[in-house]
A and B are shown apart, each in its own frame.
Chain A
Amino acid sequence: MGKTAEQVIRLDLPSSMQLVYVLDAIISEILREMGFDEETSEQVNLAVIEAGTNAIKHGNKEDPNKRAYFEFAVHPDKLAVVVRDEGQGFVREEVADPLDPVNLLKSSGRGLFLMEACMDVVTYGNSGAVVNMVKYKSSSEKQQA
């Protein structure tokens, strides 16, 4: 099975939290077309929404003059997602652990943790202003990668 991207879908959104539902609609359709099972689809959907929320809210600070950019590369064996914002980025190591008992009852700070828990690969580029995420269709493909 080839590893080359068959189809790349690009999207850019104005920095408005009211548009996060657009991401939900698009990624849901991509996942359905790719044949991901329900549980995996929910995980990927959540990770993409978290990455989009981070880009719009924390990266671009909901500045209407800035946009959030999304790329969904549909491979036979995996979905690769790139999310980019026009903000200053962040240092992953400086983000508090939401599972630390002192943080458990905080009302925010779980986005990155959930992205990393739901996807097979999550890496950060351009000082955190770019997030790359991959989800494999099966665990055997993940092991072979």
Chain B
Amino acid sequence: MNVDIRKREGVTVLDIEGRIIGSDSLALKHIIDEQINATEEGQVKILLNLEKVRMVDSSGLGVIVAAYTSVQRKGGRISLLHVGGNIKSLIVMAKLVTIFDRYEDENEAIASFQ
């Protein structure tokens, strides 16, 4: 798994590539936690770009859920971009469809944070 971090209009965009399985999940958790901890209360705006993610397992899904609850507690917002294939099925099966804000267009996703 590889994660590139960029800022766009006050939103931290994490471009994730590869698989989020096994030990990758813990690595992603550390990266997301760093971003949350480095941001002031109420200012956390994170967009997870999953376009190049080939596979997510339950531990990877757990990291995304944990990020959602952490960001909520800090008065911020986290959204998902380009949720497809295996990840979409996973979210549906786990009954998390209504929990996550999902976008297929990055401009639209960024605008939703403003």
Chains A and B form a bound pair: yes
* A residues whose Cβ falls under 8 Å from a Cβ of B: 17-21, 24, 39, 42-43, 45-46, 49-50, 53, 98-99, 104-108, 110-111, 113-114, 117
List the A residue with the shortest CB-CB distance to B68. A105
Task: State whether the Cβ of B85 lies closer than 8 Å to any Cβ in chain A.
Answer: yes
Given the known inter-chain contacts A17-B22, A24-B19, A99-B94, please indicate yes or no for A53 contacting B57, CB distance below 8 A.
Answer: yes
Number of interface residues of B (CB under 8 A): 25
Closest-CB distance, B90 to chain A (whole angstroms): 7
* A-B Cβ contacts below 8 A, count: 73
Interface residues in B61-94 (C-beta closer than 8 Å to A): 61-63, 65-66, 68-69, 85-86, 89-90, 93-94
Task: State whether the Cβ of B21 lies closer than 8 Å to any Cβ in chain A.
Answer: yes
Interface residues in B32-58 (C-beta closer than 8 Å to A): 55, 57-58
Task: State whether the Cβ of B5 lies closer than 8 Å to any Cβ in chain A.
Answer: no
In whole angstroms, how far apart are the Cα atoms of A78 and B87 in the complex? 25
In the complex, the answer to whether A53 meets B22 with C-beta atoms within 8 Å is yes
Chain A hits for B66, CB < 8 A: 107
| Residue from B55, B96, B99 within 8 A of A42 (CB atoms) | B55
List the B residue with the shortest CB-CB distance to A22. B22
* B residues whose Cβ falls under 8 Å from a Cβ of A: 19, 21-23, 26, 55, 57-59, 61-63, 65-66, 68-69, 85-86, 89-90, 93-96, 99
Q: Please give 6 more A-B residue pairs, beta carbons under 8 A apart, in addition to A24-B21, A98-B94.
A: A19-B22, A43-B89, A49-B21, A49-B22, A53-B21, A110-B62
Chain A hits for B21, CB < 8 A: 20-21, 24, 49, 53
In whole angstroms, how far apart are the Cα atoms of A107 and B62 in the complex? 4
In the complex, the answer to whether A104 meets B19 with C-beta atoms within 8 Å is no
Q: Give me the 6 closest cross-chain CB pairs, A-B, nearest first.
A: A20-B22, A107-B66, A110-B58, A107-B62, A17-B23, A42-B86
In the complex, the answer to whether B55 meets A110 with C-beta atoms within 8 Å is no
